[in-house]
Structure 1
Amino acid sequence: VGTSIAYIVAFVDLRRRGDRWPVLRLISWLIGMVFLIYVTSGGPRVYGEVQFSSHMIEHMLLVMLVPLPMVLGAPITMLMRATKARRDGSAGVREWVLWLVHTPYLRFFAHPIVASVNFAGSLIVFYYSGIMYYALDTHIGHELMIAHFLGAGYLFAQALIGIDPGVKRPAYPLRLVMLLVTMAFHAFFGISLMSSNVLIAGDWFGNIGADWGYTAIEDQQLGGGIAWGIGEFPTLFVAIMVAVQWAKSSDREAKRIDRRENRTDDAELRAYNEMLASMAERDSKLDHRRR
């Protein structure tokens, strides 16, 4: 709630001083905050402690859905636009956030390849190493799970469709490859849960004692189907966003080239044509000498 209020205040301040800030970014950030509150305080959070399938809904929404509108809200860029840099050598919110964004630690985890491996590999480590039990049994464990997977999803989305500083993003074709490979891994993870007969966190889910009308292993297999299926819509959305950004980038590059040619009166094109003419003249002289 506090970050939403701060974002709205910054948005209003920018508009009052005549600066432009897209309303869609404000809406995106607020949608992300609403999603985050629901996932961490609503039904998925409550039932996620007693049902593996509900836990998987919480997890997938947290890592795949919530970060997308947050990233599109461009909070770091908003912070830089809305606050002034301090001139007295002291450090305020702006300075601390920018320092954090550019630390080697965060830049390492924000690297597209590292972000992709963390995004996909964390699933295996979390569910198959026994760590999940501590996220269920302790409050701090659950909060750390939320922080980690929200951060992993945010950094992955930032590498693909973000505009904030601190990330060296790959070319657009490579972004699509990253997305497809990572989502294929997610699908493999979901299928492995669907076909497994070994209960994850069996000491917890196996001892709940509630009669849901299906067994704990059947609920886990349902969770595998959720892990596989729930990622389809965010994946499609991200793919469309990458394609749109790619098209806009190409259009901006074309306009930039046009402006440069107008400033130089097509100097590069004239030089290229003169080079071709020179080569043609040289070839003509060589042919004449041979004759």
Structure 2
Amino acid sequence: MGDPGVEGPVWLPSLPPSLGEYLAPNLQPVPLIPVLTLIAALFYLAGAISLWRQGRHWSPVRTASFLFGCLAIIVIMGAGIEGYGLRMFSIFMFQQLTLMMAVPPLLVIGSPGTLLLRATPHGRLGRPVLKAALWGLRSRWGRLAIHPAFMVPLFLLSFYGVYFSGLADLLLPNWYGHVGLELLFLAAGILFTVPLISADPLPSRQTHFGRMLDIFAEMPLHAFFGVVIMMATAPMVKFFASPPESWNVDPMQDQGLAGGLAWSYGELPGVLLLMFILVRWQREEARGWVKADRTAAVAGDPDLDAYNEYLRQLAARPVRRR
């Protein structure tokens, strides 16, 4: 078609948007994110197969979760939906929510960090990789990256900062800015999700109560963002105010749909994360109780034994008569 309105190696569809066009395998001229995701999936699968060949256990569920997350990225970044996301607010918002809310839990449940430490050979080629991984675990930068004081503001900045500061209008007309925002969304979602549900070794761990506070702090602000967009009477992002005429898209209706997605689709993963945290918290508490009962059955309970001894001493005292 004519001028796509975006500088750089981009391709825009010519047909009006539809489900078939969204899912059509129309790669962009430079499919950077799909290629990087495919490489990550291949490395993960190679590591899992390496452990299985050695007779060592690695969860097929974790493997399927990570690969499904990679597949989701490839579809929303590599199919026709990426072309429509270049000029439609609702599609770009759907991609952002998927990258920040839906994909990261799937990747994190796959425990890629644990797989890296277990499957990487300790020889010459694997030694630098292991050193880099251990440095990340022990460094102050690793602790800062997953600290709530950093990752929660970064997560919210990806919504309020991008759209309310004019940053979107500055970056989206350029291919580098567009792809850079997509990488930012994915990174912010992963950093937000890792301290909540990751089973990988981390520089520091939050309590379950702290994780719940992070979820509760994010969900209302996230919903408020969607409501603000839905109620706006003027285009929030001027770049999305003039989609190609052949698409037959009303910019304000499209913006309202973007706000509805932020309010509804954006909240569902947060609720699922909250349920995941509660279930894990209950299971860990139950395991702690069972372990305490077993220890008490073998070695006794010092507090209970001291209390019983106190009662025996009281019962052994002679009764004073007046």
**TM over 0.5: same fold?**
yes
Structure 1 counterpart of 2:180, from 125, 137, 144:
144
Deviations 1:72-96 (A, max 9, x none): 001001111112446x8x9421221
Q: Is residue 246 of structure 1 aligned with residue 281 of structure 2?
A: yes
Q: Is residue 3 of structure 1 aligned with residue 40 of structure 2?
A: yes
TM-score by length of 2: 0.79
Structure 1 counterpart of 2:100, from 55, 63, 79:
63
RMSD: 2.5
Structure 2 counterpart of 1:16, from 53, 61, 70:
53
Q: 1:24: how far off?
A: 0.5
Q: 1:115: how far off?
A: 1.8
Q: Is residue 105 of structure 1 aligned with residue 150 of structure 2?
A: no
Report the Cα distance in structure 2 between the residues aligned to 1:164 and 1:193, rounded to whole angstroms.
Answer: 37
Report the Cα distance in structure 1 between the residues aligned to 2:117 and 2:92, rounded to whole angstroms.
Answer: 37
Q: Which residue matches 2:228?
A: 192
Task: Read off the aligned partner of 2:106 and give its amino acid letter.
Answer: P
Q: Is residue 121 of structure 1 aligned with residue 130 of structure 2?
A: no
Q: Answer whether contact 1:111 1:167 (CA < 8 A) is retained.
A: no
Deviations 1:134-180 (A, max 9, x none): 43212221222122111111111112111112253332233223212
Report the Cα distance in structure 2 between the residues aligned to 1:10 and 1:206, rounded to whole angstroms.
Answer: 46
**3-state DSSP of counterpart to 2:55:** coil
Structure 1 counterpart of 2:68, from 13, 18, 31:
31
Structure 2 counterpart of 1:222, from 243, 253, 257:
257
The share of aligned pairs that are identical, in percent, is: 31
Q: In 2 relative to 1, CA 274–127 (structure 1 residues): closer, same or farther, beyond 3 Å?
A: same
Q: Which consecutive residues of structure 1, in runs of 5 or more, have no partner in the other structure?
A: none
Task: Read off the aligned partner of 1:15 and give its amino acid letter.
Answer: W
Task: Read off the aligned partner of 2:83 and give its amino acid letter.
Answer: V
Task: Read off the aligned partner of 1:153 and give its amino acid letter.
Answer: G
Structure 2 counterpart of 1:255, from 290, 294, 298:
290
Report the Cα distance in structure 2 between the residues aligned to 1:14 and 1:69, rounded to whole angstroms.
Answer: 21
Report the Cα distance in structure 2 between the residues aligned to 1:216 and 1:38, rounded to whole angstroms.
Answer: 25
Q: Which residue matches 1:76?
A: 113
Which deviates more, 163-172 or 221-230? 163-172
Which deviates more, 254-263 or 193-202? 254-263
Q: Which residue matches 1:52?
A: 89
Q: Which residue matches 2:218?
A: 182
Q: 1:214: how far off?
A: 5.1
Q: 1:224: how far off?
A: 0.7
Q: Which residue matches 2:306?
A: 271
Q: 1:132: how far off?
A: 1.0
Deviations 1:67-121 (A, max 9, x none): 01000001001111112446x8x94212213323443223212113432222123
Which deviates more, 178-187 or 59-68? 178-187
The structure in which a higher percent of residues are helix is 1
Report the Cα distance in structure 1 between the residues aligned to 2:57 and 2:133, rounded to whole angstroms.
Answer: 22
Q: Which consecutive residues of structure 2, in runs of 5 or more, have no partner in the other structure?
A: 1-37
Task: Read off the aligned partner of 1:77 and give its amino acid letter.
Answer: T
Report the Cα distance in structure 1 between the residues aligned to 2:233 and 2:96, rounded to whole angstroms.
Answer: 21
Deviations 1:200-222 (A, max 9, x none): 231x2233342655532332122
Deviations 1:249-285 (A, max 9, x none): 112212321332244244443233224545x469x78
Q: Answer whether contact 1:159 1:167 (CA < 8 A) is retained.
A: no
